[in-house]
Amino acid sequence: MKLAIDERWNLIDKIAKQVVKYGTYRSTLKDAIEEITVKPLTGIPIAIAVLYGFWAFFGAFAGFFTDGFFVKFFDNHWLPWLQGVFPGKGGWLYYILVGDPTASNCFEAFGALTSGLFVAIGVVLPAIIAFYLFLTILEDSGYLPRLAVLIDTVLHKIGLHGFAIVPMILSLGCNVPAVAATRALETKKQRFMMAVLLAIFIPCGAQLGIMLEIIPQYVGFVMIYLFAGFFIFGFILNKLIPGKSPEILLDVPPYQMPIGRNVRGKLWIRVKGFFTVAIPFVLLGVIIVNIMYLTGFLGWLANVLEPVLCGWFGVPKETVGPLIAAFLRKDLAVAQLSTINMTIYQLVTSVILVSLYFPCVATFAMLIREGKEEGWRGVLQYLFGSLATLTAVVFLWGGLIHLVWIILGVV
Amino acid sequence: MGDPNVGKSVVFNRLTGAKVMESNYPGTTVDYTRGYMRLDGKDVEIIDVPGTFSLEPKDKAEEVAVKMLRENRDSIIICVIDSTKLERGLYLALEIIEEGYPIIIALNMWDIAKDKSIQIDVKKLEKVLGVPVVPTIAVSGEGIKELVSRIKEASPPDIKRVVERAGGVK
Amino acid sequence: MNKETKFIIGRVYFTVFGLIVLGIGIIEILLGLTGRSFEYGIIEISGEFLLWRGVILFSAGAFYLSGVKNFSDIRQYAKIVMASVMVWIIAGMQIFGMILESIPGGEEGGWFNTLEGFLATYSPPYIPSLFLLPFSLVVFYYIKLIEEPRGEDKNKRGNSSVNRG
């Protein structure tokens, strides 16, 4: 026998009346804090303070390991040692694995075992740990959903509801799980929009870490530029794509003290994911780019693309190497950019280009997988939809920054 | 099964010792996970599914949950309910009962209900529903042992009897 | 001293403290906007994110001032608690940064810092939030005072173990 919906609720009422008793309930400090953290007037300043804490923590933690220890280890010990003992100096294998024999630091050498390991372990790993540690604490304490409520109004403008903030924040760690998390959104339109916007505009934790290392004073600017792009293109996509973006009532969980065991467990899952996915890809990326360089393909491609790169974006043609590396890993690409001789404005432009122009392979594969959830038509829609958005974004948003520099008169 | 953000994944991790991402916000689990636990000397498969308010799915994640329920006709359902939102959890539990699945209810977040001085008469609820009901605090592990020991008591109650015992649906 | 007097003292205390926090916030915002810094004795107003720290302190000051009205109402008092939390975030991150900075040696130095270098990291001048930190801790005293009379009818947390029925 099945009950009608009304009957079911009536039955629940009856049961609840018999078994539940509500005691006198006075609001506690916890309730009061729950209230003021979601009210915009008080909530926004608190959110600013929390985000400030996030950045300060991230910077201090990553700086401690990277600048304090890893740079010293890799530049003063690992690199000279490897340059000394690796056989066949000047040979192609040496070039691929150790890189430039005259290099004095691991950014410049660009071998798989030098720059590759340095970027993956020395720079990105501490950043990833710092990021996930803070994120996990924010998650488990219950603050994150409140941030979602606060940002809800803004997201509504681009047809997404507040919970889209969860994939967004996850995305700052790694785009791959973030794309998977879009599944919790209600309509196909929302899922597609969010997945594509995330993959294009939000830099992942690995990229953030390396950006902090290379252009610390411009990271804020790059982030704001990317987020602005996120909202502007979100607004456009919302108008262009047919379909509905219904409201959703979201349920805010209570504040809780994060439990140590839980935080450790989650941190471990995420860092392990980094080790198994990121490190092989970084090494592979270095090897592929080096092979392309040795065979002369990279030089040829640089000349072919020169009009676009120099003319439209105003960056040197050598950036084609990092752009290839960015297919595999964005962090690697940014590290590689730092070794190219160019002005700081060109560097900022090329960092933005690297972020925008193609999601890394892992993210792109995830996008297609999400498309598959909707059948073969979904695959095609995700594939061509994301590529079309991508092309538009790269040329418009990437070109715009060049225009900004021209107007400011710095190029 | 249960509503979103009631602690299904935490219960799952407690039962299987597996490591599924668990977070203090709804929608952490968007796909199902299989795990195994020992029950009376046998390996039993347990499936963790995304949260859903009802058996009429509204999004992809909820679809997964309902699909898993329909595909596993012979399974026992552990229905996790947020003690502070009993009514909403019961809605799903009743739907599952109507479908004829054997069910056991975990009244999770018992500590928070206590803090909010919400008192639930567990014995009475068991009697009315005719299924085992166990209060749990999954994050700290309290009540999980009892939950495990009573899984075998789970039996599909007749919804007509439930209605009778509750005193009608009008 | 009875409770009422204590509350009055608290209100005066947090009004004064709030005004100071607000003032420092304004100074930091102005310096942040103009890109300048300020140093006097053991206080320095400079460093990264100065503008943002100013915005946070300014808001915290405003929270203090709006929270002193109906001070003993928990919903009002929560603003004072959150204002203090905001001060703690800034000060806490500063201290955290100092600790991490003090351990490794400098760019050309060895793995670890020398003892002098280690101690030098902790020497003044400090940012204003570090001076505000100890004074904001008074907040705990009043949390206790406000929650006290209501605590009696509440279940103690320790007893909330799981018992059926």
Q: What is the pLDDT at residue A19?
A: 85
On chain A, the residues whose CB falls within 8 A of the CB of B117 are 22-25
Nearest-by-Cβ selection for A3 from B98, B116, B121: B98
Residue A142 pLDDT greater than 90, yes or no: no
| Portion 14-53 of B in contact with A at CB < 8 A | 19, 21-27, 30-31, 50
For chain B, say whether C160 makes contact (Cβ under 8 Å).
Answer: yes
Distance from CA of A361 to the nearest CA of B (A): 22
Nearest CA in chain C to B114: C160
On chain C, the residues whose CB falls within 8 A of the CB of B142 are 161-162
Residue C32 pLDDT greater than 90, yes or no: no
Distance from CA of A394 to the nearest CA of B (A): 31
Chains B and C form CB pairs within 8 A to the count of 28
Residue A209 lies inside a defined structural domain of this protein: yes
Query: A251-265, B90-104, C96-110: which has the highest mean pLDDT?
Result: B90-104
Average pLDDT over residues C102-120: 82
Average pLDDT over residues A376-398: 89
Residue A131 pLDDT greater than 50, yes or no: yes
Q: Which of A204-208, A209-213, B140-144, C146-150 has the lowest mean pLDDT?
A: C146-150
Pairwise CB contact (< 8 Å): A33 & C92? no
Average pLDDT over residues B73-95: 89
Chains in contact with A via at least 3 Cβ–Cβ pairs below 8 Å: B, C
Reduced to 3 states (helix: H, G, I; strand: E, B; else coil), residue A311 is helix
Q: Which of A156-165, A365-374, C9-18 has the lowest mean pLDDT?
A: A156-165
Q: What is the ipTM of this complex?
A: 0.85
For chain C, say whether B121 makes contact (Cβ under 8 Å).
Answer: yes
Could you tell me if C76 and A42 are in contact, meaning their C-beta atoms sit under 8 angstroms apart?
A: no
For chain B, say whether C75 makes contact (Cβ under 8 Å).
Answer: no
For chain C, say whether B146 makes contact (Cβ under 8 Å).
Answer: yes
Q: In whole angstroms, what is the distance from residue A52 CA to residue A37 CA?
A: 16
Average pLDDT over residues A33-38: 85
Into how many domains does chain A fold? 1
Cross-strand bridge partners of residue B150: none
For chain B, say whether A262 makes contact (Cβ under 8 Å).
Answer: yes
Residue A17 lies inside a defined structural domain of this protein: no
Average pLDDT over residues A366-390: 86
Confidence of residue B27 (pLDDT cuts 50, 70, 90): low
Average pLDDT over residues A126-137: 87
Residue C159 pLDDT greater than 60, yes or no: no
Residue C154 pLDDT greater than 50, yes or no: no
Residue A2 lies inside a defined structural domain of this protein: no
Nearest CA in chain C to A68: C104
Distance from CA of B117 to the nearest CA of A (A): 5
Chains A and B form CB pairs within 8 A to the count of 132
Distance from CA of A29 to the nearest CA of C (A): 6
**∠ at Cα A197 (A370, C55), nearest 5°?**
135
| Portion 24-63 of C in contact with B at CB < 8 A | none
**∠ at Cα C112 (C110, C115), nearest 5°?**
110
Pairwise CB contact (< 8 Å): A59 & C90? no
Task: Name the DSSP class of A66.
Answer: I
Average pLDDT over residues A115-139: 86
For chain B, say whether C152 makes contact (Cβ under 8 Å).
Answer: no
Average pLDDT of chain C is 83
Q: What is the pLDDT at residue C153?
A: 41
> Phi and psi for C38 in degrees, rounded to 5?
-145, 135
Pairwise CB contact (< 8 Å): B124 & A265? no
Pairwise CB contact (< 8 Å): B23 & A13? no
Q: What is the pLDDT at residue A250?
A: 59
E-strand ranges in C34-161 read: 38-40, 43-45
Q: In whole angstroms, what is the distance from residue A88 CA to residue A78 CA?
A: 18
Query: A131-145, B136-150, C15-29, C37-51: which has the highest mean pLDDT?
Result: C15-29
Reduced to 3 states (helix: H, G, I; strand: E, B; else coil), residue A20 is strand
Average pLDDT over residues B11-29: 71
- Give the 3-state secondary structure of B52-80: CCCCCCCCHHHHHHHHHHHHCCCCCEEEE
For chain C, say whether B119 makes contact (Cβ under 8 Å).
Answer: no
Q: Please give the share of chain A, as a percent, with pLDDT higher than 70.
A: 95
Cβ neighbours of residue A180 under 8 Å, at least 6 residues apart? A366, A370, B30, B31
Residue A254 lies inside a defined structural domain of this protein: no
Confidence of residue C161 (pLDDT cuts 50, 70, 90): very low
Q: In whole angstroms, what is the distance from residue C94 CA to residue B87 CA?
A: 47
Residue with tokens 């997988």: A369
On chain B, the residues whose CB falls within 8 A of the CB of C160 are 110-111, 114-115
Q: Which of A157-171, A180-194, B152-166 has the lowest mean pLDDT?
A: A157-171
Residue A18 lies inside a defined structural domain of this protein: no
A331-362 tens-digit pLDDT: 888 888 888 888 888 899 999 998 888 888 88
Chains in contact with B via at least 3 Cβ–Cβ pairs below 8 Å: A, C
Q: In whole angstroms, what is the distance from residue A403 CA to residue A329 CA?
A: 27
On chain C, the residues whose CB falls within 8 A of the CB of A69 are 104, 111
Distance from CA of A41 to the nearest CA of C (A): 10
Residue A74: closest CA among A54, A58, A98: A98
On chain C, the residues whose CB falls within 8 A of the CB of B114 are 155, 160
| Portion 346-385 of A in contact with B at CB < 8 A | 373
Could you tell me if B136 and B147 are in contact, meaning their C-beta atoms sit under 8 angstroms apart?
A: yes
Q: What is the pLDDT at residue A209?
A: 83
Q: What is the pLDDT at residue C149?
A: 59
Task: Name the DSSP class of A315.
Answer: -
Q: In whole angstroms, what is the distance from residue A49 CA to residue A36 CA?
A: 14
Query: Is residue A33 within a helix (H) or strand (E), and if so which, with residue range?
Result: helix A29-38
A320 or A160, greater pLDDT: A320
A245-283 tens-digit pLDDT: 665 555 667 788 888 877 888 888 888 877 887 788 888
Confidence of residue B134 (pLDDT cuts 50, 70, 90): very high
For chain A, say whether C59 makes contact (Cβ under 8 Å).
Answer: yes
Interface test with B, best of C152, C154, C162, C163 (most B CBs within 10 A): C162
On chain C, the residues whose CB falls within 8 A of the CB of B117 are 154-155
A50-109 tens-digit pLDDT: 989 988 898 888 889 988 889 889 888 898 888 888 888 778 888 888 888 888 888 778
Overall fold of domain B8-166: Rossmann fold (3.40.50)
Q: In whole angstroms, what is the distance from residue C12 CA to residue C1 CA?
A: 16
Cβ neighbours of residue B167 under 8 Å, at least 6 residues apart? A14
Average pLDDT over residues B78-97: 89
Q: What is the pLDDT at residue A46?
A: 94
Pairwise CB contact (< 8 Å): B22 & A262? yes
Q: What is the pLDDT at residue A25?
A: 65
On chain C, the residues whose CB falls within 8 A of the CB of A70 are none
Residue with tokens 């590290």: A335
Pairwise CB contact (< 8 Å): B23 & A140? yes
Pairwise CB contact (< 8 Å): B27 & A269? no
Average pLDDT of chain A is 84
Q: What is the pLDDT at residue A245?
A: 66
Average pLDDT of chain B is 84
Q: Is the peptide bond before A167 cis (omega within 30 degrees of 0)?
A: no
Nearest-by-Cβ selection for A12 from B23, B58, B94: B94
Structural domain including A307 reads 26-246+265-408
